[in-house]
Amino acid sequence: MSLVTLSDVLQPALTGGYAVAGLVTSGWEDMRAYVAAAEAENVPVILQAGPGCRAHTPLPILGKMFRHLAEGASVPVVAHLDHGYTYDECKQALEAGFTSLMFDGSRKPLQQNIDETAAIAEMAHAAGISCEGEIGFVGYSGGETSAGTDPLEAEKFARETAVDAMAVSVGNVHLQENKEGRLDEARIRAIEAVTTVPLVIHGGSGVPVAQRTALAHGSAICKFNIGTELRMAFGYALREAVNRDPARFDRNSILVETHDPVVAATRRVLSAMKGA
């Protein structure tokens, strides 16, 4: 299956009543496990390169890694830039072979966010790829607080930017290690009432699985970003592998032992939001 765009997987999700997982990658080991899990569940997957990943591995390298995995996969794979903060960074991702650009202007005044997101959406669409924008800042566990998305601002943002997906702030936070948060369903319904664009939840790890499933099957939320809970699964598996034999130093023999646990954790994430 060749690489696909974000719209290629989210539009069927919108009409079919399910959601697709945007899985935040850190390196080769987890992105390979994510694709293996998607193949096992027979669902599409969105591989996401966020700021932390990009600080470790250059965008052109990530683009080649994503494309290599997609070309050998039996399911659709999206190569997605997560939280691009500048036009130039988004342009670099496009040139590196990404098929989806997420521009995050959520900290900026509304009109500036609209104008900058619209320019990136125009660039993406001219190249035949997708664009995700964010309206309403999504904060961080133990850090900056979220600013809830105003439905009327969301309608204006969606209409004037022509984004293919819209990330919203509805009680979600990034980097939450437990699932004690809950999304504000009334706010979600208010946004749905004035927009038709597929909605995205960043910080999906903090959302209870039952609520993820219910919203995947019964709302316009078509994409849940999942990072923290899979990083935790990788970290636990890595720690166990290292501690199993303190004298072992070959990184490849250690890292290979993270594969099956991460695949298993990812399959649980994917199965909770897939269609019938």
Check pLDDT > 60 for residue 177.
Answer: no
Check pLDDT > 90 for residue 30.
Answer: yes
The pLDDT score that the predictor gives to residue 139 is 74
Each residue of 90-136: pLDDT tens digit?
999 999 999 999 999 999 999 999 999 999 999 999 999 999 999 99
Q: Which domain holds residue 120?
A: 3-271
Confidence of residue 175 (pLDDT cuts 50, 70, 90): low
Each residue of 216-257: pLDDT tens digit?
999 999 999 999 999 999 999 999 999 999 899 999 999 999
In a domain, 265, yes or no: yes
Q: Is 251 helix (H, G, I), strand (E, B) or coil?
A: helix
Decide: residue 27, CB within 10 A, 0-12 exposed, 13-18 middle, 19+ buried: middle
In a domain, 176, yes or no: yes
In a domain, 125, yes or no: yes
Of the residues 8, 30, 82, 150, only one is catalytic, namely 82
Query: 34 to each of 49, 78, 262, how far by Cα in Å?
Result: 13, 12, 8
In a domain, 276, yes or no: no
Spatial distance between the Cα atoms of 47 and 24, rounded to a whole number of angstroms: 6
Q: What's the CATH code of the domain at 13?
A: 3.20.20.70
In a domain, 223, yes or no: yes
Name beta bridge partners: 201: 224
Average pLDDT over residues 14-34: 97
Known active-site residue 88: no
The tally of domains found in the chain comes to 1
